[in-house]
Amino acid sequence: MHLYSTKNKNLNIEFEEAVLRSLPQDNGLYMPHEIPLINKKDLLVLLDKSFEELSFEVAKNIIGDSIPEEILKAIVLEAINFPAPLVMLEENIYCLELFHGPTLAFKDFGARFMSRVMNYYKRENEKLFVLVATSGDTGGAVASGFYNVEGIEVVILFPKGKVSPLQQKQLTTLGKNISAIEIDGTFDDCQSIVKQAFLDEELIHKYQLSSANSINISRLIPQSFYYFNALRQLEDISDVVFVVPSGNFGNLTAGILAQKMGLPIKHFVAATNINDVVPEYIKNGHYNPRQSEQTISNAMDVGNPSNFYRMETLYGSTWNTVKENVSAYAFTDGETKNAMKEIHDKYGYIIDPHGAVAYLGALKYKLDSGHNGPTIFMETAHPSKFMETVESVLNIKIEIPERLASLSEKNETFTILHNDYNEFKNWFIKKYH
Ligand SMILES: *Cc1c(COP(=O)(O)O)cnc(C)c1O
């Protein structure tokens, strides 16, 4: 697999470099030069396989011989060890449950695969240091995905008082190769410290540093697997629309990769909260990134989606070609809460706020387009991850899965630092000298 940068078509680098670097030096995004098409006959064979087998075939198709087949197979089988079931709410309305991984969010797919690929590529006898700033879900998935992976040390920076108590537990109770640092500042401050570390000659000379942020191409690839797996669970796959609750648009971009590999996806619908820069773009052709606003679907509070240019590039970089393939709608918190109630009353199904936004997108698209085939919307987090909101909206008590509930008894260990790069650097050098 070879990649270029969205800012330089002539760049031609190996998958290994894209994984370890995350971002090209020109600040573009890595894109594959080729996305091999799986022909119809092979696709039908593929859709008869198990989720794990199918995931391996899809990975092999796009990654090619950048990772030897046997090793790639082991990586996929280890990473994708939980299901992604399709639940029918009513005829032709399906919910794709992506929350069955260890941290109960769909980010487990990306983090588990990326950690193992990085482990394969890291230089022998040398430690790899993965730095990541988190506002919530990403940190937990990365911590769990990299936990106990030999030769990799993970440092997670989180903003004081701005992640939920259970999210914080997911970062601070593992120990071993996972270190958590509470920064007396905001998420942007955490991110800025990570960025400075990557520019610090002294550090990058001495340590092999990498990042686990969402634009890493190795986080996107495994997210294409569950699109294939969703169609595997349908009888008729000729007319399928996916509705994706979107923030940074990694999930939707992975769907486009699946489509380019030959999966017959008719159309995509992006559903957002009031952070609606992409719905605005689809409406009028102008892309105006701006500061994000806080909502109850906070994993989608993104004002400058990092995968926007990938999505645009995959559809030929014009507004017309993008909007032919992608519809987009935005919903308020009020509408989201009503949808959560409606789904509970009508189907007895408990949904989290992100999934509820997607459900609204599904209804609106059906109404606007008259689409009659299967519409699959994604549930990206288990409702208990957003327990406070879900319980107050539905006026019920919800059950917390054991792997989340057991966290509350565990002891937290983390380092407290000021919002100061030099303080972070001194801590880092002292710890890993
Ligand atoms: C990260 C996240 C999203 C948004 O996914 P993108 O790939 O950034 O568009 C949606 N829902 C949940 C629960 C998330 O954690």
Res. 300: pLDDT tops 80: yes
Dist CA 358 CA 355 (whole Å): 5
The pick from 99, 142, 224, 354 for probing ligand 1's pocket by mutation, whose C-beta has the most ligand atoms within 8 angstroms, reads 354
Residue 382, ligand 1, Cβ within 6 A:
no
Strands of the 30-32 sheet, one edge to the other? 8-14, 2-5, 30-32
Of 69-73, 112-116, 125-129, minimum mean pLDDT range = 125-129
Residue 246, ligand 1, Cβ within 6 A:
yes
Q: Which letter does DSSP use for residue 146 in this model?
A: H
Categorize the per-residue pLDDT at 273 as very low, low, confident or very high, splitting at 50, 70 and 90: very high
Say whether 8 sits in a helix, a strand or coil. Answer: strand
Ligand 1 atom having least distance to the Cα of 355: 11
Q: Atom 1 of ligand 1 has which residue's CA nearest to it?
A: 299
Categorize the per-residue pLDDT at 406 as very low, low, confident or very high, splitting at 50, 70 and 90: confident
Dist CA 149 CA 144 (whole Å): 10
Say whether 2 sits in a helix, a strand or coil. Answer: strand
Ligand 1 atom having least distance to the Cα of 250: 7
Distance 327 CA to ligand 1 centre (A): 18
Res. 38: pLDDT tops 80: yes
Categorize the per-residue pLDDT at 242 as very low, low, confident or very high, splitting at 50, 70 and 90: very high
Dist CA 118 CA 20 (whole Å): 7
Question: What average pLDDT score do residues 335-343 get?
Answer: 98
Q: What is the pLDDT of residue 213?
A: 77
Residue 179, ligand 1, Cβ within 6 A:
no
Categorize the per-residue pLDDT at 150 as very low, low, confident or very high, splitting at 50, 70 and 90: confident
Residue 101, ligand 1, Cβ within 6 A:
no
Res. 307: pLDDT tops 80: yes
Q: What is the pLDDT of residue 90?
A: 95
Query: Residues 175-205: pLDDT tens digits?
Result: 999 999 999 988 878 988 988 898 898 998 9
Q: What is the pLDDT of residue 131?
A: 94
All domains of the chain, ordered by start, with CATH? 83-103+219-394 (3.40.50.1100)
Q: What is the pLDDT of residue 396?
A: 96
Say whether 415 sits in a helix, a strand or coil. Answer: strand
Categorize the per-residue pLDDT at 422 as very low, low, confident or very high, splitting at 50, 70 and 90: very high
The reported pTM is 0.93
